[in-house]
Structure 1
Amino acid sequence: MSSDSFANLCIFHIMDGLRDGLSHFSHTSRAALLYAINPGDPIRIYDPQELMRGHEPMLKKVFVDSENWKQGAAHLEQTRLIEIVKSKSLELSGLITCGARSKSIFYQRWFTEHHPDMCSTGPTESWLEYAALLLSQDFATQNILRIDSSGHLLREYSTHAVRDYIVDQRNRVMGWDTQLRVYPILDAVLGISKTKEEGAWARGDLIFIEPSELNGIEYLAKFPENERPELKNHKHVRKLLQSVELSGRKLVSDGKKVVGIANCSCTDNSITAHFRGEFGFLYLSSTPVCSFADAQFSATNYRPNLVQLEEILLELNMDPNDRHSMFQIVNKLVSSAGHRSHGCTLVLDFNDPPVNIAGQSLEKPLDLREPEMRALTRSLTKLDGAVHIGKDLRLHGFACLLDGRAVSGENRARGARFNSALRFTAEQDNMVVIVVSADKPVSIIQHGVELTARCDWQQHFACVSTPPKLEDWINE
């Protein structure tokens, strides 16, 4: 096999594993790579799913019109296997990036999507760093027998990415002098999260404190040293969480055992698992790292993604204060329905006056700027049918029936709420319908089209030819 063919296969397998792993950790994700194998080589781009389209001016400025990206590589022969390259000039909108240099590859820079509902970009950045490391190793070893193993490693890297990010951040704060082992903590968090107690999922906070800092905590209750529950006994810890559920109290652990119960705050290097029933969040100090559910870590922050609604509201002729209030009202209703897992349908009517919709009308519309009316509306979303909200920020009806003729975008797998909204908006002007499914996906529908629909990117099964030079790709 020629060196070019080997390089192309290495890049393909690592890209494929990276993209698949990130898509499971967050949402469907694309990835791209810029690289130059030798100092004198032109920089090339491998972007099979057009992630970098739209960023050509910045790429041309940094990599074609300038050679500053080559600086700092003179000491590569004396350095370790790989060196991560930070670059403030590549803060591209909507992208997460990581650059690296090594003896085997002069320069590489990886890109992937920055989804708007991420808890943190940290684990994803660690994922990209690991991709750069594996590509450097594969180029250095030239071992054809393990050419696809790097892709498998990246595909299953979720827990390792979370661990690597936490370790890196804690090392920056306190150096290498730590007794907390992160892998057992992550295993315990996932184990507890999938353990029910009397049919209920875990709720409450479990905080992991450096053993050297435990004596500075004022405990409400502290267990004798020889009777402290083992962290690996997930069932026992799950039972203990009931003592801190729906309170400001926390279970305190040294990473091996549960030490006691306290009202302590997080420290600069503490790790906290915040269990919230079916899902939860992992924090480093007071900063969210990731979420967890179904015994897996993920990037989502479980907040409704209403970016498309923001764009629609900005295009409307509305008072800025009313626009802001409308968004906040909808956001709270959607969040409430999602967290309570009952789902709902919201009809936002921007007609003046609002149209009549079959359902339970009101003698006097409810002013949703009043907290009590908003609380009532949250309860009304539990009823079958849609709630009808006008541009005047008032509730005009509930238990509304949405009907219309069949449209081409219907999806039988999505149920009656979704398909009724498609039919209704296809025949109504100045209407936006928001459908919240019981399992939390949020769909924003206008003119019979789901604005939140995701594209299924075409799968590539080989990197057959050498990727093009960046300059040629820009000029295409």
Structure 2
Amino acid sequence: MIPDRHHMLCLHTVLEGLRLGLCDFSGPSRAALIYACQPGAPLRVVDPQNLLRGHEPRIREYFLDSTEWQDGLPAPELVAFFDQFHARRLGLAGLVSLGGRSSRVAYQMWFTEQHPDLCSPGPTRRWLELALRQFTTSLCSPDVMALDAASNTLQEMAPHAVHDFIMDERARAIGPDTRLRVFSILSAIILISKTPEEGAWARGRLAFVEPSRLSRVHFLARLPKSERPRLDHGKHVRKMLQSVERSQRLLVSDGEHIIGMAQGGQPGQPGQGGQGELPPGTLCARFNGRHGMLSLDGSPVCSFSDGAFHSTNRRPNLVTLEEALLEWPLDDAQRTALFASVSRLVAAAGEQKYGCALIIDPYTPLLSLAGHSLETPMPLVGEERLALAAGLARVDGALHLSAARNHLCGFACLMDGPSFPGEDRARGARYNSALRFTHSHPELIVVVVSSDRPVSVVQKGVDLSKPPVWPPVPSMLRPPPTLEEWLA
């Protein structure tokens, strides 16, 4: 049966709402769906931006060559409304997936990107869970006007996805009986992160402990009940954070008030002097100025900045560098040492918010560059030498690294080369100099760190870390092909 107009409108609205919401939460993202409306009906594929391309062998094996995708699923007539707990996940490299079955839609499996800098796939799966439910609800309802509400809900899902994931994980850790109001906590975290104090943004840690487990916290100081700041008084809590700024201490809250100050430590990891262990189920927000990280029992959940939650762990993404180094004639020890040194230098630049460039040179002998050379190349081993190299990276110009020996050979090196059509005038001089330089010296790799965090890996005049250009999503989807047609 060919899907009718209402069916296609539901597909387009839910898919586009999901994609736009994930783009805000995780950066550029795609979404895809494999589904069947009726038992025994052929599976159909909705993949307007080719997210699933490259995974055809595993998809064929999972859906066509076996009944693996149906294992454990209850009969549709036994599903009152929705069942996702019995649907198996399809493990595809680089993708997050979630499947389910309802009384109206016999099977759905939604997919999206698993970005390299993802804190946790949990909130993203909660997003896919809502897409499952919204698609089922939209098909059951003839009200076309309700589709806009479904799309808007999916686009504004970030705090709900984070909330649902935290609630699920805390229920597993300490049981479903909890008094922490997670929605109120998330709102308070965003409010505090947006509240400056004497021109400075919030720094320090704030832990949210289950009220019944406060007796397990080793308090350095507690406040009287009558004087405890309310959590929703963001200005007051922001002032209190100054007492634990740049220290191992943290503020402790029961989800409604600030209880006191304690020695910091992760669950199961004692603080100084054997004290400071936080009880299981503790939610902790670390404020780092204009951004921060949210963790549960020491495991990262998401980050927050600019008044919103994001999936990124805010670490530099050097996956493309790691892949490029695999093509060089280096042994495993050389490659590992070089990548560790570059990662440390890039991380230092990101933490201290300065721009720099690193020229990674595989030549023997090394390329002769204009700049300051060292009388004896310095091995990039040990914190002291790496800290010195990070300091030299602040000087205008690029660091010159020997790939084979993991040595710093020069600093303040100039990168020049003739202009060519691949330049990007939307980026700065350091970035375009790297493009020109590697276009003239195709064997080199240049890592460019911008002061506002983006990291680019440039080789042969091309930015390897630049996201690919995907086909735009059409304003109205065409009837999706069956899985057999799509594979063919």
| 1:254-333 matched pairs, under 5 angstroms | 254-263=254-263, 264-333=276-345
Q: Please report how far the alpha carbon of residue 3 of structure 1 lies from its aligned counterpart in structure 2 after TM superposition.
A: 6.2
Could you tell me which amino acid in structure 2 is paired with residue 434 of structure 1? V
Counterpart in the other structure of 2:269 = none
State the TM-score, normalizing by the size of structure 2.
0.94
Counterpart in the other structure of 1:200 = 200
Match of 1:420 among 433, 441, 452: 433
The answer (yes or no) to whether the contact 1:85–1:101 under 8 Å persists in 2 is no
Distance 2:412 2:98 in 1: 50
The answer (yes or no) to whether the contact 2:72–2:87 under 8 Å persists in 1 is no
Match of 1:335 among 341, 347, 351: 347
Could you tell me which amino acid in structure 1 is paired with residue 440 of structure 2? E
Counterpart in the other structure of 1:22 = 22
Distance 2:297 2:95 in 1: 25
SS at match of 1:362: strand
Distance 1:67 1:369 in 2: 53
Q: Please report how far the alpha carbon of residue 371 of structure 1 lies from its aligned counterpart in structure 2 after TM superposition.
A: 3.0
Change in Cα spacing, 1:332 to 1:71, as seen in structure 2 (3 Å) is closer
Change in Cα spacing, 1:301 to 1:277, as seen in structure 2 (3 Å) is same
Distance 1:289 1:299 in 2: 8
Deviations 1:200-230 (Å, cap 9, x if unpaired)? 2212110000111112322111000010011
Could you tell me which amino acid in structure 2 is paired with residue 368 of structure 1? L
Change in Cα spacing, 1:439 to 1:275, as seen in structure 2 (3 Å) is same
The answer (yes or no) to whether the contact 2:138–2:147 under 8 Å persists in 1 is yes
Deviations 1:244-276 (Å, cap 9, x if unpaired)? 122221100000110000113332211000112
Distance 2:330 2:216 in 1: 54
SS at match of 2:326: helix
| 1:57-456 matched pairs, under 5 angstroms | 57-88=57-88, 90-263=90-263, 264-391=276-403, 392-456=405-469
Q: Please report how far the alpha carbon of residue 53 of structure 1 lies from its aligned counterpart in structure 2 after TM superposition.
A: 1.0
Distance 2:146 2:152 in 1: 10
Could you tell me which amino acid in structure 2 is paired with residue 142 of structure 1? P
Distance 2:149 2:3 in 1: 18
Q: Please report how far the alpha carbon of residue 429 of structure 1 lies from its aligned counterpart in structure 2 after TM superposition.
A: 3.8
Which is further off, 73-82 or 47-56? Answer: 73-82
Deviations 1:60-86 (Å, cap 9, x if unpaired)? 122122334335555443433211145
Deviations 1:31-77 (Å, cap 9, x if unpaired)? 10011101021110100011111111221122122334335555443
Distance 1:456 1:231 in 2: 44
Change in Cα spacing, 1:394 to 1:9, as seen in structure 2 (3 Å) is same
Does 2:472 correspond to 1:459?
yes
Q: Please report how far the alpha carbon of residue 473 of structure 1 lies from its aligned counterpart in structure 2 after TM superposition.
A: 0.6
Distance 1:433 1:446 in 2: 7
SS at match of 1:355: coil
Counterpart in the other structure of 2:484 = 471
Gaps of 5+ in 2: 264-275
The answer (yes or no) to whether the contact 1:11–1:463 under 8 Å persists in 2 is no
The answer (yes or no) to whether the contact 1:85–1:98 under 8 Å persists in 2 is no
The answer (yes or no) to whether the contact 1:366–1:396 under 8 Å persists in 2 is yes
The answer (yes or no) to whether the contact 2:45–2:482 under 8 Å persists in 1 is yes
| 1:41-60 matched pairs, under 5 angstroms | 41-60=41-60
Change in Cα spacing, 1:89 to 1:295, as seen in structure 2 (3 Å) is closer
SS at match of 1:148: helix
Where does structure 1 differ by over 6 angstroms across 4 or more consecutive aligned residues?
none
Distance 1:427 1:412 in 2: 19
SS at match of 1:6: helix
Distance 1:3 1:43 in 2: 12
Could you tell me which amino acid in structure 2 is paired with residue 374 of structure 1? L
State the TM-score, normalizing by the size of structure 1.
0.96
SS at match of 1:35: strand
The answer (yes or no) to whether the contact 1:271–1:284 under 8 Å persists in 2 is yes
The answer (yes or no) to whether the contact 2:189–2:285 under 8 Å persists in 1 is yes
SS at match of 2:280: coil
SS at match of 1:186: helix
Could you tell me which amino acid in structure 1 is paired with residue 218 of structure 2? E
Q: Please report how far the alpha carbon of residue 294 of structure 1 lies from its aligned counterpart in structure 2 after TM superposition.
A: 1.0
Distance 1:74 1:334 in 2: 50
Change in Cα spacing, 1:283 to 1:251, as seen in structure 2 (3 Å) is same
SS at match of 2:188: helix
Distance 1:77 1:173 in 2: 33
Which is further off, 362-371 or 301-310? Answer: 362-371
The answer (yes or no) to whether the contact 2:359–2:447 under 8 Å persists in 1 is yes
Which is further off, 242-251 or 155-164? Answer: 242-251
The answer (yes or no) to whether the contact 1:9–1:462 under 8 Å persists in 2 is no
Could you tell me which amino acid in structure 1 is paired with residue 203 of structure 2? R
Q: Calculate percent identity across the aligned residue pairs.
A: 46
Q: Please report how far the alpha carbon of residue 373 of structure 1 lies from its aligned counterpart in structure 2 after TM superposition.
A: 1.9
Distance 1:89 1:24 in 2: 25
Distance 1:70 1:324 in 2: 42
Gaps of 5+ in 1: none
CA RMSD of aligned residues (A): 1.6
Distance 1:56 1:3 in 2: 24
Paired residues, what number? 474
The answer (yes or no) to whether the contact 1:429–1:447 under 8 Å persists in 2 is yes
